[in-house]
Amino acid sequence: MEPELHPDLKPLEFLLGTWEGAGVGDYPTIEAFNFGQEVSFTHNGKPFLIYTSRSWLIEEDGSLGRPLGTETGYWRPQPDNQVEVTLAHPTGIVEIYVGTVAFNRVEMQTDVVARTRSAKEVTAGRRLYGLMPEKDGKRDLGWVYEMAAMGQPLQAHLSAQLKKVG
């Protein structure tokens, strides 16, 4: 039995569910690539969303290859359509984002990036998540991630279009 949605989560309700799809990645320090992704937003009745994301390389023949990024965290709505997001990566990076929720869209930027001694240098990030225009009665979730890392300024790194499953 699914718990009742906490009233504070109403602005983020459009994110709930499991989303799957494909995206592209590029950055000056790596070769461009295509990836598959699964993103999940759930809740337990408390005033936060539980978030997980997993991705895999898409090989040139279209098959799924090796695992890529994984992240998990919590999305906490705040007064005045604000949101706080905490994300942890198994590569030793933890990010805290702050942003705004409006019209089935979330825009946020890092407030803090912390890393372990062995993690790669990431200094800032900016993300956009939003529902795309309706097609065949459904709306896909699109997202974009800009990153500042490895001495590079903030710039496009990842983007994907995901379909709701289940």
- Would you give per-residue pLDDT tens digits along the chain (166 residues)? 889 999 999 999 999 999 999 999 999 999 999 999 999 999 999 999 999 999 999 999 999 999 999 999 999 999 999 999 999 999 999 999 999 999 999 999 999 999 999 999 999 999 999 999 888 889 999 999 999 999 999 999 999 999 999 7
Q: Which residues pair with 83 in a beta bridge?
A: 77, 99
* 7 three-state secondary structure: helix
Distance CA 88, CA 56 (A): 18
Q: What angle do CA 76, 77, 80 make, to 5 degrees?
A: 150
- 113 contacts 95 by C-beta, under 8 angstroms: yes
Q: What is the pTM of this model?
A: 0.94
- 104 contacts 114 by C-beta, under 8 angstroms: no
